[in-house]
Structure 1
Amino acid sequence: MEPAIASPRSDDRELTLRWSARVSLTPRILFVNVFALAMLAGGFFYLDSYRSRIVDSRVAQASREARLIAEALGAVAPDARPAVALRLARDTGTRIRLYDRAARPVLDTRALGKRNFVLLDPDKQDWGMAAARFLDAMIDTVVGAPRAPLYRERRSGSDWPDVRLARNSLRAPATVWRAPDRTPVITAAAAVPNGGVVMTTVNARDITQTVRLERFRLSVVLAIVSLVSVLLSLFLARTIVRPLRRLAWSAVRVRMGRAREVVVPRLPSRRDEIGMLARALSDMSLALRARIDAIEAFAADVTHEMKNPLASLRSAVEGLANVRDPELQRQLLAIVRDDVHRLDRLITDISEASRLDAQLGRAKFESVDLGALITGLIAQHTARGIEHEVVLRFDRPTGGALTVLGEGARLERVFENLIDNAISFSPEHGVIVISAAEDGDDLVIRVEDEGPGVPEESRETIFNRFHSFRPDSESFGKHSGLGLAIARTIVEAHHGTIHVESREDRLHGARFVVRLPLGPRA
């Protein structure tokens, strides 16, 4: 068994996929689709930038609210400030604290009964919120988001960085803190016109809820798309990889020498490239099987055909050692010569028949004038003398050359075999007529003899190798039985046809018809 050999070709660089060629098709298909899904999953990280923009806008809003609240409290009398602070806390949803010049607490809306700022205890929340916080922490870690400081209550105003900055400047600083449940807490402070600092605090839980809701929706979409993509990938891999594996396994079995028992699937329902590949491989395996059968039959026929002359030669040689009669010795020597000539002719024809396909596949076709070729063959036979005083006649149309594309030596062998075959079957003083005529785009050559003709049931088998259908008057072993087989092989290699039929004039004899495509006219 021959090893599989990968022949380098000039187009290997265009077909090689470097590292991906080492991976099976199924994981490659899955990887491509999952990679596209991974890009879609990047939306999770986009939500972090979306959250940052919302937090920045809320920080700016907290600074403006703190400045407005400070101006509102500075515009009223000190005893009216608690009522105004409660009303503003209710309208803005913030906790408002007022500190004096020494940063001591003066007013707190929470102490006044407005509990609109409450931090949730994460230990008392369900597992869903714990999972959401874990996902928040994981995404913040992946994107490298800055971690806000943990929010803790301070005793005096000087412990708050916003209060310290607001006391020493005209700005309204704001800070983002992190609540125990990972929701943002925004504090802002502004100086009161008549002295003191007001600080607002809000737990922006709605920002986290909005981001988590969008993340949940994106997760649902991503899960559905992932499931569909994986199923489609598996379906695509199944429709591509499975037939390719079947074809590859069939090809391996053919290579291992099991061509007779291998049935390459043709996949008739597929009209794509895989179906084309399957049918091409199936046709190739059938052609290979036919070629193997032909080679085996040819080898068997060769063995059978060579056994007869070898057996006759062996008997004659053994007889020469025991015969003393000169006449018998001459007869045995004549038998030896005939058998040697027959073996030589048989080996020559077998060698030509075995090499014919390969030689014709490499032949370069040129313009050949069949009229001149047939005229030359008739002249050669006439000069050598024709058996049975047979007459050769060539009927050709008047005008230009009868040109076809082909190899002149091979085409000459075709008509030489047909003429020799017609001579061997012709009676005494018979006439062999060779005619040529154009029929559309083809040139039709007919060779007619006056012999016994070919039975209808044998008109196809006579073109088989080693087929024996010879006239009774011909001595045994004069022909190898390969002449018509060689002629058909040459004609078909020239994209033509050859067959035998009865004569149209209803006389005895056979008509061989060769049809070849016309070549370009001069």
Structure 2
Amino acid sequence: MPPEDRDLSLRWSGRVSLTPRILAVNIFALAMLAGGFFYLDSYRARIVDNRTMQAAREAGLIAQAAAMTPPRDRTALMLRMAEAANLRIRIYDHAGRVTFDTRALGLRNFVLRDPDKDPWNQSAARFLDAIIDTVAGADRAPQFRERAPDKGLDWPDLQAAFQKGTPVASVWRAPDRTPVITAAAPFGPEGAVFTTVNARTITQFVRVERFRLGVVLAVTLGLSIFLSLFLARTIVRPLRRLARAAVRVRLGRAREVVVPRLPERRDEIGHLARSLSDMSQALRARIDATEAFAADLAHELKNPLASLRSAVDSLTSVRDPNLQAQLLAVVREDVHRLDRLISDISEASRVEAQLSRAKFEPIDLTAMLDGLVAQRAQRGLGRDVRLRFDPPPGPLPHVMGEGMRLERVFENLIDNAISFSPDGGLVALSLGIDDGMIEARVEDEGPGVPEDAREAIFRRFHSVRPDGEAFGQHSGLGLAIARTIVEGHQGSIGVESREDRMRGARFVVRLPLVQR
């Protein structure tokens, strides 16, 4: 796997659609918030512990106050403290029998609720308490059960208070799951003070906080799901449309596929859509060009093949040696035309692919054109045609390119200019710089190119023959190959009228300079 693909690869999550992945990421953050429910459980445990220690201190204070109060005033004091602290206060002797009870005196401030008689919302709250306690693994206090008046020693707190001589408290669980806290403190030779309280406020406080947290969580969850779906819709839906369009293009339906460009989107998906649209249009143009090239190729091959077949068929019936020699000359000429045509077609077919893999280097066009002119003049031009290169007055910057391909461009232009030049004509080459591009010009004194044909001459198999030239000397691919090579170098090629108003054509090649 290439490094760039390895950086973008996903392991198990790559098999999951974007929509559930977006939802999972957002809901995971909410799950962390939901952990507040379990934090409330630990918070409740701390409150219960503090309330238990407070109950032990209260029992100790009540025992001290009772010991310091005369017996005749003790009952009134106990009732006032029980009512103020919402406690049930009892005094047990050392045998475990009740000698004083605020409930027996009419103060019924400790009453446990019957869960079977509570409304449905209380039952639902208790059910939610049980679920959270189970999930959080909270310690479950023992069930609270009253002891008989003469069985006080069955209370663990009372036994511990008699044994240790210090206040002791315990936590129990009422039938409605609210905590019940009992505490005992030694009361001198008379026994011990025993207090009981149903701490419903702790459960109520936790439930209120849990309800508030639940409301916040529910609202946040709803908004998160809505925003996640909105985000997934803005990402996943256009990606699916683009994917479907790409599949249809892959299946060979490029002409009937319209890739959405999403012009209103300025984000990465919009850039992707426009890039895919441009790519599909380029692919469509490439397919059209390939089909047109195939049709033109069939047409160009048909003529020499028909001539060749006709000559071969005639050879079997002709006995005249002169006619046979003429037919063999036709066969050789047609074979030569086919060989030249196939070579040019092969060159035109692979030049673009080769340019995409070529390694460009700095090229000195002045030295290249000077060398090409010298080589061409050494081989001879014919018809007294002259070839001249006018070098620039000073050194020019280099261009980035592949030397052999650029030489092919200028060789084609030079051959084309020579073939259209009149006898004794001049073909002039020159270099210059214009608007940050290096400009190479090839001028001849031929008939020139009409304005309405200046684009057509660069099409494949478009061939305009000079006067007097035999048919089939050119394949019509030279200028098409030249344009392909120049555009592969990020340049341009065109034909203009000569600036000096003289008769002839002027081909101009523009190439970007080397960036310093």
Displacement after TM superposition at 1:20 (Å): 1.2
- Counterpart of 1:3 in structure 2 is none
Select 1:292's aligned residue among 287, 308, 311.
287
- Counterpart of 1:163 in structure 2 is 158
Distance change (3 Å), C-alpha of 1:341 and 1:238: same
- After the TM superposition, which residues 20-169 of structure 1 pair with which residues of structure 2 at under 5 Å, given as runs? 20-155=13-148, 156=150, 157-169=152-164
Confirm whether residue 379 of structure 1 aligns to residue 367 of structure 2. Answer: no
In structure 1, list runs of 5 or more residues that go unmatched. Answer: 1-7
Whole-angstrom distance in 2 between the partners of 1:330 and 1:345? 22
Whole-angstrom distance in 1 between the partners of 2:274 and 2:419? 46
- Counterpart of 1:4 in structure 2 is none
Distance change (3 Å), C-alpha of 1:258 and 1:71: same
Confirm whether residue 354 of structure 1 aligns to residue 343 of structure 2. Answer: no
- Give, as a single letter, the amino acid of the residue that structure 1 aligns with 2:272: L
Confirm whether residue 364 of structure 1 aligns to residue 364 of structure 2. Answer: no
Whole-angstrom distance in 2 between the partners of 1:350 and 1:410? 16
Select 1:207's aligned residue among 191, 194, 202.
202
Select 1:326's aligned residue among 291, 297, 321.
321
Displacement after TM superposition at 1:33 (Å): 1.2
Whole-angstrom distance in 2 between the partners of 1:391 and 1:193? 138
Whole-angstrom distance in 2 between the partners of 1:360 and 1:16? 31
- Give CA deviations for 1:71-108 in whole Å, capped at 9, x if unaligned: 12222233332212111111111011112232221111
In structure 2, list runs of 5 or more residues that go unmatched. Answer: none
* Identity score, percent: 69
Whole-angstrom distance in 1 between the partners of 2:52 and 2:376? 114
- Give, as a single letter, the amino acid of the residue that structure 2 aligns with 1:82: T
- After the TM superposition, which residues 472-487 of structure 1 pair with which residues of structure 2 at under 5 Å, given as runs? 472-487=467-482
Displacement after TM superposition at 1:403 (Å): 3.9
- Give, as a single letter, the amino acid of the residue that structure 2 aligns with 1:231: F
Q: Which shows bigger deviation, 428-437 or 438-447?
A: 438-447
Displacement after TM superposition at 1:330 (Å): 2.5
Please say if residues 403 and 520 of structure 1, whose CA atoms lie closer than 8 Å, have aligned partners that are also in contact.
no
- Counterpart of 2:425 in structure 1 is 430
Displacement after TM superposition at 1:401 (Å): 6.4
- Counterpart of 2:503 in structure 1 is 508
**What SS does the aligned partner of 1:389 have?**
coil
Displacement after TM superposition at 1:520 (Å): 8.0
- Counterpart of 2:331 in structure 1 is 336
Whole-angstrom distance in 2 between the partners of 1:372 and 1:136? 91
Whole-angstrom distance in 2 between the partners of 1:42 and 1:442? 67
Q: Calculate the TM-score normalised by the size of structure 2.
A: 0.96
Displacement after TM superposition at 1:21 (Å): 1.3
- After the TM superposition, which residues 164-179 of structure 1 pair with which residues of structure 2 at under 5 Å, given as runs? 164-179=159-174
| Count of aligned residue pairs for this structure pair | 514
Confirm whether residue 441 of structure 1 aligns to residue 432 of structure 2. Answer: no
Confirm whether residue 389 of structure 1 aligns to residue 384 of structure 2. Answer: yes
- Counterpart of 2:305 in structure 1 is 310
Displacement after TM superposition at 1:387 (Å): 3.2
- Give CA deviations for 1:173-194 in whole Å, capped at 9, x if unaligned: 1111111111111111111134
Confirm whether residue 19 of structure 1 aligns to residue 15 of structure 2. Answer: no
- Give CA deviations for 1:455-479 in whole Å, capped at 9, x if unaligned: 1011011101101222232211110
Q: Calculate the TM-score normalised by the size of structure 1.
A: 0.95
Distance change (3 Å), C-alpha of 1:403 and 1:56: closer
- Give CA deviations for 1:431-454 in whole Å, capped at 9, x if unaligned: 222222233533222111111111
- Give CA deviations for 1:18-48 in whole Å, capped at 9, x if unaligned: 1111211111111111111111111011111
Displacement after TM superposition at 1:519 (Å): 4.4
**What SS does the aligned partner of 2:316 have?**
helix
Whole-angstrom distance in 1 between the partners of 2:257 and 2:400? 39
- Counterpart of 2:447 in structure 1 is 452
- Give, as a single letter, the amino acid of the residue that structure 1 aligns with 2:187: V
Please say if residues 74 and 194 of structure 1, whose CA atoms lie closer than 8 Å, have aligned partners that are also in contact.
no
Distance change (3 Å), C-alpha of 1:183 and 1:275: same
Select 2:269's aligned residue among 256, 274, 287.
274
Select 2:230's aligned residue among 235, 247, 260.
235
- Counterpart of 1:5 in structure 2 is none
Please say if residues 103 and 197 of structure 1, whose CA atoms lie closer than 8 Å, have aligned partners that are also in contact.
no
- Give, as a single letter, the amino acid of the residue that structure 1 aligns with 2:456: T
Distance change (3 Å), C-alpha of 1:376 and 1:12: closer
Distance change (3 Å), C-alpha of 1:77 and 1:372: closer
Displacement after TM superposition at 1:383 (Å): 3.1
Whole-angstrom distance in 1 between the partners of 2:184 and 2:4? 73
